[in-house]
């Protein structure tokens, strides 16, 4: 068969259902072979959108999302989304066309050394320089993307190789089990936890990747230990659970920060340093840290590990839970109570523009607990991370490793493909929305009814917040917006503008009931940002 056909067979063999991307001149054979495949190609309007779709597909399924571009500019357009997946540990395989091998040695139209370009943003980058290596390269790209720590890989496919004949077969797909944690480390960890006066759990995205959230909740409940989660681990313990302290990750003081100050033993579970710098939650460097993860800890002066329990997280939690002595009560309960008071504080507020807390309240009320929100990056993300309650993991997706703006709209499209039965909402700033808003055409064309909720402040809100905190003045953060209702209508979507705070719940309900894409322009009152900083600046810990 043709090498391009073998390549597509190998992708099918890996269980690939969708490829997100843009065809080009240098992948004609692959695009043609896809016509005879079970794989559905989702044609996007920008390669960055395709990469973000693959990124979020990977987060929601634990199987690599796949994106495809042509050589040169198509491939470089993929990079932001690929880097996002890699640093956030989302499994993703990126594919790019390449010029024929007979012109790679010289200056040549659209040619870049893509293996080198992708090297810093992937775990593995390879070129298909011989048709015979296709089964190995594809298997390796998927195996590495899908093994801890999951991330991005890259395959470059020169056009002359794609057109060659080859006789090879795809390799069997095997998922190696996570290794057993060593018994001695489990015993040491259990002893430290039993002796602790104020233990605290820090749960990260690795708990989601390991599918270990039930074991985490059982562990916390049985031992009576409070749990702080990173932004990327929202929902790993249901927020209604009395042990849940909420999200850690804001760079300012917060109630959850009081928990870290008070804790003597911090049990980090599936936590990646990229999610929340250790110097922010462990400035004193003097607490006992127990590291529970599939892999040994990254080196960091503020993350000195007393005991590292590496191996299957589910197994580690169950075994340590059996051995450790439960604690009598969780003294950090007031931290949770204070956070809940704040979440409830503005739910009847009628001030306009709408306060962030009120938008979150109305959104949470409008959605079912299994519905999914994809957050973009900005001030809205900080509010959502802190105040949007999640009862299930992967119901509020936040990019907090690479933290790239522009993920929400394409991410919501991928989420709708994975979970057509759930409501999917992209929560985005006005700036992040316009970075990839062209993908609403993709959503409309593919009949994927998502809701896009724009927090409109006419500027780069988060940056303004930081500037005001640091310098008490603003530098170059303002812009003007198009009329988002007309913009929506031009794409064939339903557009809404929130003219008064009272109408937000009705608009959300109407938008969620639509069978096409809905865009809600919601003016937001970001004076709350500075108020929040001041409030947290004078925070007196309630424990």
Write out the residues near ligand TPP by the rule CB under 6 A.
376-380, 403-406, 429-432, 455, 457, 460-463
- Residue 432 or 449: the one with the smaller Cβ distance to ligand TPP is 432
User: Is there a contact between 388 and 415 (Cβ–Cβ < 8 Å)?
Assistant: no
- Contact at 8 Å (CB) between 88 and 54? no
* Closest distance to ligand TPP from the beta carbon of 536 (Å): 18
Minimum Å gap between C-beta 353 and ligand TPP is 12
CA nearest to 376, candidates 231, 528, 529: 231
Q: What is the DSSP string of 272-294?
A: -GGGS-HHHH-TT--SEEEEEES
CB of 53 to ligand TPP, least distance (A): 16
Q: Give 162 or 385: the residue with its C-beta nearer to ligand TPP.
A: 385
Q: How far is the CB of 380 from ligand TPP (least distance, A)?
A: 4
Place of tokens 């009628």: 350
**Whose Cβ is closer to ligand TPP: residue 338's or residue 364's?**
364
Q: Which residue is nearest to ligand TPP (CB)?
A: 429
51: closest CA among 399, 466, 538, 332?
Answer: 399
Q: Which is nearer to ligand TPP, 224 or 481 (CB)?
A: 481
Rounded Cα distance between 227 and 236, Å, is 10
Closest by alpha carbon to 128, among 166, 84, 90, 175? 166
Nearer to ligand TPP, 14 or 464 (CB): 464
Cβ neighbour number for residue 116 with a 10 Å cutoff: 9
Give yes or no for a contact between 29 and 159, defined as CB atoms under 8 angstroms apart: yes
Shortest distance, position 457 Cβ to ligand TPP, whole Å? 5
Choose between 360 and 462: whose C-beta lies nearer to ligand TPP: 462
Least distance to ligand TPP, CB of residue 475, Å: 12
The minimum distance between CB 137 and ligand TPP, in angstroms, equals 30
Q: How far is the CB of 465 from ligand TPP (least distance, A)?
A: 7
Residue nearer to ligand TPP on the CB measure, 313 or 434: 434
Q: How far is the CB of 85 from ligand TPP (least distance, A)?
A: 14
84 — alpha (psi -120 to 50), left (phi > 0) or beta?
A: alpha
Cβ contact 228:234 at 8 Å = no
Which CB, 463 or 536, lies closer to ligand TPP? 463
Nearer to ligand TPP, 366 or 431 (CB): 431
CA dihedral 18, 24, 30, 35 (to 10 degrees): 60
Nearest CA-CA partner of 30 in 54, 7, 1, 64: 7
Distance in Å, CB of 529 to ligand TPP, minimum: 9
Q: Which is nearer to ligand TPP, 297 or 403 (CB)?
A: 403
End-to-end CA, the chain: 69
Contacts of 421 (CB under 8 A, 6+ apart): none
Residue reference for tokens 């947290």: 536
Q: 415: which 2 tokens?
A: 């989420």
Give the SS3 label for residue 397: strand
List strands edge to edge, sheet with 124-127.
40-43, 18-21, 65-69, 92-98, 152-158, 124-127
Beta bridge partners of 456: 523
* Radius of gyration from C-alpha coordinates of the chain: 24
Tokens of 261: 């100050």
* Cα–Cα distance, 270 to 314 (Å, whole number): 10
- Nearest approach in angstroms of CB 462 to ligand TPP is 4
Helix (H, G, I), strand (E, B), or coil: what is residue 261?
Answer: helix
CA neighbor of 505 nearest in space, from 341, 391, 347? 347
To the nearest whole angstrom, how small is the minimum distance from the Cβ of residue 402 to ligand TPP?
Answer: 8
User: In this complex, which beta carbon is closest to ligand TPP, that of residue 166 or of residue 524?
Assistant: 524
Nearer to ligand TPP, 288 or 404 (CB): 404
Comparison of 47 and 430: residue with beta carbon closer to ligand TPP: 430
Find the shortest distance in angstroms from Cβ 379 to ligand TPP.
Answer: 4
SS3 label, residue 238:
coil
Report d(CA 360, CA 344) in Å as an integer.
10
Classify strands 396-397 and 372-375 as parallel, antiparallel or unpaired.
parallel
Q: Nearest approach, Cβ of 88 to ligand TPP (angstroms)?
A: 13
Specify the 3-state DSSP secondary structure of 440. Answer: helix
């Amino acid at each position: 068969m043709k090498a391009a056909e073998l390549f597509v067979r190998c992708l099918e063999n890996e269980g690939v259902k969708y490829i997100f991307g843009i065809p080009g001149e240098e992948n004609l054979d692959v695009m043609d072979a896809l016509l005879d495949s079970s794989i559905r190609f989702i044609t996007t309007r920008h390669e960055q959108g395709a990469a973000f779709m693959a990124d979020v597909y990977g987060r929601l399924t634990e199987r690599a999302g796949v994106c495809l571009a042509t050589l040169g500019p198509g491939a470089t357009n993929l990079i932001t989304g690929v880097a996002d997946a890699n640093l956030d540990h989302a499994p993703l395989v990126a594919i790019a066309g390449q010029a024929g091998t007979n012109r790679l040695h010289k200056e040549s139209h659209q040619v870049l050394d893509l293996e080198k370009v992708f090297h810093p943003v992937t775990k593995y980058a390879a070129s298909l320089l011989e048709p015979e290596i296709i089964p190995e390269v594809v298997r390796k790209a998927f195996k590495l993307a899908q093994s801890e720590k999951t991330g991005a890989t890259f395959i470059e496919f020169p056009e002359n190789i794609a057109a060659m004949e080859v006789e090879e077969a795809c390799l069997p797909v095997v998922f190696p089990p996570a290794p057993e944690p060593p018994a001695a480390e489990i015993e040491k960890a259990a002893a430290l936890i039993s002796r602790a006066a104020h233990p605290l759990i820090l749960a990260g995205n690795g708990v989601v990747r390991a599918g270990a959230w039930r074991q985490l909740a059982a562990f916390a409940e049985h031992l009576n230990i409070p749990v702080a989660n990173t932004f990327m681990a929202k929902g790993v313990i249901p927020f209604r659970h009395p042990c849940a302290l909420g999200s850690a990750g804001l760079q300012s003081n917060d109630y959850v920060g009081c928990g870290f100050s008070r804790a003597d033993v911090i049990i980090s579970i599936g936590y990646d340093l990229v999610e929340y710098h250790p110097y922010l939650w462990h400035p004193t460097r003097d607490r006992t840290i127990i590291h529970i993860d599939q892999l040994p800890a990254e080196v960091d002066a503020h993350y000195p590990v007393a005991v590292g329990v590496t191996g299957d997280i589910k197994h580690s939690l169950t075994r340590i839970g059996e051995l450790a002595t439960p604690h009598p009560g969780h003294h950090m309960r007031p931290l949770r109570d204070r956070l809940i008071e704040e979440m409830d504080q503005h739910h009847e507020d009628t001030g306009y523009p709408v306060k962030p807390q009120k938008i979150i309240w109305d959104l949470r009320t409008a959605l079912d607990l299994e519905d999914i929100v994809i957050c973009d990056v900005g001030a809205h993300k900080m509010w959502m991370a802190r105040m949007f309650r999640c009862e299930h993991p992967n119901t509020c997706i936040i990019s907090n490793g690479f933290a790239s703006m522009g993920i929400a709209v394409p991410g919501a499209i991928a989420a709708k493909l994975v979970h057509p039965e759930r409501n999917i909402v992209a929560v985005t700033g006005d700036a992040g929305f316009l970075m990839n808003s062209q993908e609403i055409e993709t959503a409309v064309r593919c009949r994927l009814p998502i809701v896009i909720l724009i927090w409109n402040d006419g500027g780069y809100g988060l940056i303004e917040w930081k500037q005001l905190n640091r310098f008490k003045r603003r530098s170059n953060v303002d812009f003007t917006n198009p009329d988002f209702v007309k913009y929506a209508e031009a794409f064939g979507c339903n557009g809404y503008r929130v003219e008064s705070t009272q109408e937000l719940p009705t608009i959300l309900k109407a938008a969620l009931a639509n069978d096409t894409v809905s865009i809600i322009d919601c003016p937001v009152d970001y004076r709350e940002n500075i108020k929040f900083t001041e409030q947290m600046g004078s925070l007196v810990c309630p424990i």
